[in-house]
Structure 1
């Protein structure tokens, strides 16, 4: 038990030091060094590296980076901005909905970051506190991310659960309705709890101070850019189609047995297809793709999954550690399964990155014998990442609110309310579906 505790402490120390030193990249590198300590120092047999998840994240990063380099992301932000500005009085409901759709389709919260100034300005025009719309939108972006087949964290979990016979369709059948219903509940909460309206004269004063980007309202986008966006969305659509209806996917006969093309392979193929179409439509240099925020974030996510994921598999798959967890902690979790909710939330609070938290917690959950569908029902606890103010979407939301009503602490109460709501709704849907 002492050795196991020491191994866990080394793992936590490596991940925290890595995050503090160099973010997601440092998290992965430090965890890989801790892997050396486990193998050579503690004599643990190396676990399985999450190679499939790494390959999926790489394909998503290249596809998303290509879309960003060709101007597709800017075009999507332009479209989303127009939609938000059309319904100013309903901004607390409309902004999160639009953020959800775009994050779900693109697989990155960067689009929420770009929309925050529009959300704040539109709320002011409608005489509504920007804080209400901003907090709802930022928190919604996080829960939408774990529904998106084009997101790194989702890709990792789907690849891990695929080995247990759980399809993308089963994953989304719980996570997607949970997120949508929780988003609506959060918007209601932000509308009816606390003061929503702002003094009209004060709002006009604030609007005069805000810089308005006139170029964005008049900029024209090339048809080729629009076609590239369409290609990316179609690729995501095909991934969803084959994920939800695996029976329509390609099948092959190998040595007399019928073999299906794995969902993890389909994700990569369709992502690279969208990247190819964008490259054919719009001429960009390779370094433009590699230096985009989406590609760089994907590189960080690769290490955040590879390092902690491989290290976690090594520690928790070791025969001695597995037996200890099943006999000790496993029995406790079986009697009080809600403890895993607290554990995932605490890890997410410290690690912040959904991909890194998932790569740490999934091996633990599986080694404890917790049903994967239970974890999927509570998967939004990976988003308890608003306590430590390190997320760019949170920090930027505070900056763009000219009324200064949005503070770092403004996300705490709505955030915990949202996570609690997702857990309750997720477990209810799981029970209704009999999973």
Structure 2
């Protein structure tokens, strides 16, 4: 009955809201409360818990946490930092692409946090509004998760579509170019977004108050000369600068990878955790080699060992085996202490993701399974006539679940029930990146806090925040591109 579905959805949304007030791992806890009410009060049978996805997340977390403890993640950050600093004037394009690439490789947006101050300071040093590269980089990191072969979201998606004979390389053939196009379009939209720093009253107020350093005078002069079509000497004179003085022409740029004494942070971390010299590079190489193996085995099922039914082993199971093996190889080769692995930030993030899938996705699956006939009957005509409307449902669900993996595991089976093919689902999959809609997501909060210029923030009406335009642009462009690509490759 319709009223039962409405009541159960209300319970689910209430639990999500209560969980979001506590944040973090509590979201998954409140999913359990929702299940308690759905099963005891509404007398619905619980759906099968998403154990397969949880085990993939656990295995990938083991590998990435080991890599982090041995300095491998810090090594990735240093590589990303070098690329960003090499092309400072193109930072609004380069920084998001770097954020996407390294999220794609690592399978987690966690890698973005140490890059944010580098992006901010590089932009400020070159007179570029930090809001532009920082917001698109956050959005790019979200998009990278729905393209990475080792992300929790990909694990959830593989489990759904592999039963339809759709392999990992086929998913990536659609997801990678679609999400990349989404990121590039968002970056292009943000290239001239907002006032220039010289004209921004909040930035000027902070400079006057000594809260943030001004744009280097030589950069200001170059920009003024270009804008007003005057000579550099004339621009410097108007700015009241002595050309012979270089005192204020240089600004130190934050470095996420070099300590005060000049040592690499990755080597300091590896030494602290008992790993041998060279461990950061070793663990990064082992992890990337494992990612390549996952893609190769996904592309060529004949290379996989047999499963229970004699057919090639499913890629979900093989991914778990490969990631656990990679973690073991890292420990054996680098001699990193196991204690720091379990206490690493990635291990904590992985547990939060695992519990979130356990509670929230299980709750969502139970509500949908209990009302599948009513839901499918109500949506079948609409989705058949306008398939893109399913992307709207994915986007809306991701806003409240704060998780691409939970949204994927909850709604993608419904998409199959509605008659959508795996290629169409892969095309619409970037729509699960709606976590930016409410400005409470971890990387969003971090970006706002790192921006000392005040250009990245929340507007008067909450929803008119800095991430809305690049976020919506990236999702729409990615889904549109994905549907076009799916129409060609199938």
Establish whether TM, by shorter chain, passes 0.5: yes
Whole-angstrom distance in 1 between the partners of 2:353 and 2:163: 21
Q: Return the match for 1:389 from 439, 448, 463.
A: 439
After TM superposition, list the pairs within 5 Å mapping 1:40-119 onto structure 2: 40-119=40-119
Q: Find the counterpart in structure 2 of residue 274 from structure 1.
A: 326
Q: Which moves more between the two structures, 169-178 or 179-188?
A: 179-188
1:2 aligned partner? 3
- Is the Cα contact below 8 Å between 1:167 and 1:244 reproduced in 2? yes
Greater CA drift, 232-241 or 352-361:
352-361
- Structure 1 residue 372, shift from structure 2 partner: 3.6
Q: Greater shift after overlay, 236-245 or 309-318?
A: 309-318
Shift of 1:111: 1.2
Question: 1: CA distance between counterparts of 2:301 and 2:169?
Answer: 8
1:431 shift after superposition: 1.0
> SS state of the match for residue 215, structure 1?
coil
Post-superposition shift, 1:113? 1.1
CA change 1:396–1:22 in 2 (3 A) is closer
Which position in structure 2 is the counterpart of 1:249? 304
Question: Conserved in 1, the CA contact under 8 Å of 2:360 and 2:406?
Answer: yes
- Tell me the equivalent position of 1:203: 215
- Retained in 1: the 8 A contact 2:388–2:428? no
Which of 278, 281, 284 in structure 2 is aligned with 1:223? 278
CA distance in 1, matches of 2:118, 2:23: 31
**Alignment match, 1:182:** 182
Change (3 A) 1:5 1:389: same
| Aligned pairs, number | 428
| Distance change >3 Å, CA 290–CA 212, structure 1 → 2 | closer
1:217-255 Cα deviation digits (max 9, x unpaired)? 832433122111110111111111112333333347x7x
Higher helix fraction (1 or 2) = 1
Given the superposition, is the C-alpha separation of residues 394 and 217 from structure 1 closer, same or farther in structure 2, using an over 3 Å criterion? farther
Distance 2:375 2:254 in 1: 56
After superposition, give the CA deviation of every residue in 1:50-70 in whole Å (9 maximum; x if it has no partner).
Answer: 111111000011111111111
Distance 1:366 1:198 in 2: 52
Matched-pair contact (CA < 8 Å) for 1:325–1:368:
no
- Looking at structure 1, the residues matched to 484 and 410 of structure 2 have their Cα atoms a distance apart, in angstroms, of 26
Indicate which of 449, 454, 460 corresponds to 1:399: 449
- Give the conservation status (yes or no) of the 8 Å contact 2:160–2:409: no
> Is this contact kept in 2: 1:345–1:384, CA < 8 A?
yes
- 2: CA distance between counterparts of 1:363 and 1:22? 27
Q: Secondary structure at the match of 1:5?
A: helix
CA-CA distance at 1:303 after TM superposition: 1.6
Indicate the larger mover: 243-252 or 289-298.
Answer: 243-252
Cα distance, 1:96–1:216 mapped onto 2, change above 3 Å: farther
What's the counterpart of residue 272 of structure 2?
Answer: none
Give the direction of change, closer, same or farther, for the CA distance of 1:56–1:377 in structure 2 (3 Å limit): same
Normalising by structure 1, report the TM-score.
0.90
Task: Choose the corresponding residue for 2:293, options 207, 221, 238.
Answer: 238
**TM-score, normalising length: structure 2:** 0.81
Flag structure 1 segments of 5+ consecutive residues without an equivalent: none
Q: In 2, are the aligned partners of 1:304 and 1:356 still within 8 Å (CA)? A: yes
Deviation digits for residues 12-37 of structure 1 (CA, Å, limit 9, x no counterpart): 222222232243x2222222232233
Residues 122, 253 of structure 2: 8 Å contact kept: no
Deviation sequence 1:138-173 (CA, Å, 0-9, x none): 111110011112211221111222223221112111
Distance 1:194 1:245 in 2: 48
Alpha carbons of structure 1 residues 378 and 196: separation in structure 2 relative to 1, 3 Å: farther
More moved, 27-36 vs 298-307: 27-36
Question: For residues 104-134 of structure 1, what are the alpha-carbon distances to aligned partners after superposition, in whole Å with 9 as ceiling and x for unaligned?
Answer: 0101111111101111111222222222111
Q: 1:94, 1:216 → 2: CA distance?
A: 27
Q: RMSD between aligned alpha carbons?
A: 2.5
Q: Is the 8 A contact 1:53 1:156 kept in 2?
A: yes
Number of the residue aligned with 2:484: 428
Distance 1:196 1:158, change over 3 A: farther
Give yes or no for contact 2:20–2:27 (8 Å, CA) kept in 1. Answer: yes
* SS of residue paired to 1:163: helix
